Amino acid sequence: MDDVGIGYLTLGQPLSTLSGGERQRLKLAIELASPADVYVLDEPTTGLHMSDVDRLIGLIDRFVDAGSTVIVIEHNLDVISRADHVLDLGPGAGADGGRVVFAGPPAHLVSVADSLTGEHLARRHGIAR
Query: Which pLDDT tens digit goes with each residue over 76-129?
Result: 999 999 999 999 998 888 898 889 999 999 999 999 998 999 999 999 999 987
Indicate if the pLDDT at residue 9 is higher than 90: yes
- What is the average pLDDT score of the chain? 90
Q: What is the pTM of this model?
A: 0.79
Q: Which helix (H) or strand (E) holds 118?
A: helix 116-124
Please return the burial class of 72, using the count of CB atoms within 10 Å of its CB with bins 0-12, 13-18 and 19+.
buried
Q: What is the pLDDT of residue 24?
A: 82
Domains of the chain (ranges, CATH numbers): 1-83 (3.40.50.300), 85-129 (no CATH)
